[in-house]
Amino acid sequence: MLSFLLKLRTRARDLFRLSDAHTMLIWSVIVGVAGAFATVLFREGIAHLQILFTGSEGSFVEMARRLPWHTRIWLPAAGGFIAGCLLLVAKRSSAGDAAGGGSKPIHTDYVEAVAIGDGVMPVGKSIWRSVSSLFTIASGGSIGREGPMVQLAALAASLIGRWVHFDPQRLRLLVACGAAAGITSAYNAPIAGAFFVTEIVLGSIVMESFGPIVVSSVVANITMREFAGYKPPYEMPVFPPVTGIEVLLFVALGLLCGVLAPRFLSLLDVAKAGFGKLAIPLPAKLALGGLVCGVISVWTPEVWGNGYSVVNSILHSPWTWTALAAVLVFKLMATAATVGSGAVGGVFTPTLFMGAVVGCLFGQGMHALWPHGTSAPYAYAMVGMGAFLAGATQAPLMAILMIFEMTLSYQVVLPLMLSCVVAYFVARATGKKSMYEITLHRNREEAERLRLRATQMRELVRPADTVVRAGATVQEMTRVFLEYPVKYLYVTDDDGRFLGAVALADITNDLLQKRDTSNKHACDYLKASFDVLTPDMPLAVALQHFMSFQGERLPVIESAQQPKLAGVVYKTSLLDAYQRLNAER
């Protein structure tokens, strides 16, 4: 069967004269449809479990309000326990995947599979983790559903690519197309879905990869619109026009979100560390996380689910600041308990929730101080969603496009761009946190490259152990040569000024020819025109010196005017720095 598919693919390519780029566009269409169906399948799974648990489907907040208080407590705990048991099954499945994958590591997360892997994703572990997420979400867990949706879409792309024997490079691109299809299907934002993958997963926008990703994203969006009852998760109101000095308030909102977004992620890490210290089985940990969420929901049912309905309510109806503050604090606690316990899900949607509530609170505060010069609080909530997302993901372009696609309003662009960009830079400056570890990895690499571009030889200088005075005898120099496996000794005067170098070959030649060396000293063998470096010499210039010298090390003098020997630079240190500077992203 596989050989038939390979022959069919080759003949079709030859018949229609398709290049590899054209072939990838065709497969991106197929992956876009598959990603949409994977997302719909997960949505239907949640709906069926909701009916099984409570007899109805729909908003989790409304579902919680209809349930008696004791059911609100035990249902998330029971769902967490079942989800934990399924994660144990997933771990056993991952052992089988690892055994079947040979020596190559198999990355469960689609980001790792694209960024550092070969595009191969474990089937068993991915499916069991997604089923586990179904039970966490359907029982009211405070976590996003977009994570497993994108995971399943990427898994479908990986399976399709492996089925037709794609090489690792094209398989990674196909998995990236699947991830874009998943994001698009979850948020009805095809442009943002494409930029999510290119900005976060791939780390750069290259047309060879961006084209198929855009096609897959658009096809997924078209496919989703064909399903009855499908609608975007957020119903955005018309954004009011913003003019004059009020723009500065959105800059201040960006500052606030840039400070708070990394703290939100840090809180989730603290919760994970706290649950990790508990000496109890994994199902018990997830049950405990669900229990915390259930207890909180007795007083605040708005903590159930990913927060879609609450955000839509904030955008369309007035909330008091006390109600907003309460739902913010309790939702934060419920999300930390759910995520910290080890539940599988996304924090993308909870991040949008935090941004909406923080933005609305900020807007209410500004409106109280300046009632006739500010827009309605919901406008700040809309921009706050994007700014908080930009600070948490460190992907401002994706955040801007996502909110713009949700609103389809040009009026939102100016304040949104300002807030998102400010939040991004503030988040990078004040907190070393990102929703995606690969973003931090790229930031560290970029910072290292910037540092290496400015690297001078003073950072690579090592002590020069093979130094002799000008009056050193042949016997003294021979002893140093025997102690250190070098070809040259550096010669200095009594004040430490560099005079030149003595070559091992010259002394060895005299000894082999049995010449009289009893009256010879270092100054008699001195090579005064020896190549040297200076502490302020850039990396590239020093590399040119090494290429012309072709030795293992070069001496470093303080300056041409003050030729005091400062040490040596080894070729290995220089090449290591140069390699890290030019490492591929």
CATH number of the domain bearing residue 561 = 3.10.580.10
Same domain flag for 252 and 376:
yes
Q: Residue 1 pLDDT > 50, yes or no?
A: no
How many CA atoms within 13 Å lie on the side-chain side of 411? 14
Same domain flag for 519 and 442:
no
pLDDT tens for each residue of 175-208: 888 888 988 888 888 888 888 888 777 766 666 7
Any domain includes 96: no
Total count of domains within the chain: 2
Same domain flag for 443 and 467:
no
pLDDT for residue 225: 84
Any domain includes 557: yes
Buried b (16+ CB within 10 A) or exposed e, 507-531: beebeeeeeebeeebbbebbeeebe
Please identify, among 453, 480, 495, the residue that sits at the C-terminal boundary of a domain: 453
Same domain flag for 275 and 330:
yes
d(CA 392, CA 398): 12
Any domain includes 74: no
d(CA 74, CA 80): 10
Using CA atoms, how far residue 160 sits from 12, 32, 184, 463, 566, in Å, is 17, 11, 19, 57, 60
Mean pLDDT over all residues of the chain? 83
Cα-based angle 511, 512, 514 (whole degrees, multiple of 5): 65
% of residues, the chain, pLDDT over 90 = 24
Helix axes 321-340, 348-369, angle to 10 degrees: 160
Q: Which has the closest alpha carbon to 327: 348, 346, 350?
A: 350
In degrees and rounded to multiples of 5, residue 349 shows phi and psi of: -70, -45
Same domain flag for 467 and 441:
no
d(CA 325, CA 227): 37
Same domain flag for 249 and 380:
yes
pLDDT for residue 97: 53
d(CA 154, CA 169): 15
Please identify, among 418, 453, 488, the residue that sits at the C-terminal boundary of a domain: 453
Contact call for residues 303 and 142 (beta carbons, < 8 A): yes
Any domain includes 336: yes
Q: Residue 574 pLDDT > 80, yes or no?
A: no
Any domain includes 103: no
Same domain flag for 344 and 393:
yes
pTM for the full predicted model: 0.74
Any domain includes 16: no
User: In the structure, what pLDDT confidence band is assigned to residue 5 with cuts at 50, 70 and 90?
Assistant: very low
Output the DSSP codes for 186-233.
HHS-HHHHHHHIIIIIISS--HHHHHHHHHHHHHHHHHHHTSTT---S
Same domain flag for 514 and 392:
no
Same domain flag for 269 and 339:
yes
Any domain includes 185: no
pLDDT for residue 102: 47
Provide the residue range defining the domain that includes 309. 244-279+298-453
Please identify, among 453, 479, 499, the residue that sits at the C-terminal boundary of a domain: 453
Same domain flag for 472 and 574:
yes
Any domain includes 238: no
User: In the structure, what pLDDT confidence band is assigned to residue 584 with cuts at 50, 70 and 90?
Assistant: very low
Same domain flag for 265 and 390:
yes
pLDDT tens for each residue of 346-401: 888 899 999 999 999 999 999 888 888 788 899 999 999 999 999 988 888 889 99
d(CA 406, CA 398): 12
Same domain flag for 397 and 488:
no
User: In the structure, what pLDDT confidence band is assigned to residue 4 with cuts at 50, 70 and 90?
Assistant: very low
- We report the CATH number of the domain holding residue 381 as 1.10.3080.10
Contact call for residues 146 and 187 (beta carbons, < 8 A): yes
pLDDT tens for each residue of 275-295: 989 889 999 999 999 999 999
Pairing of strands 498-503, 553-557: unpaired
Q: Write a three-state SS string for 479-503.
A: HHHHHCCCCEEEEECCCCEEEEEEE
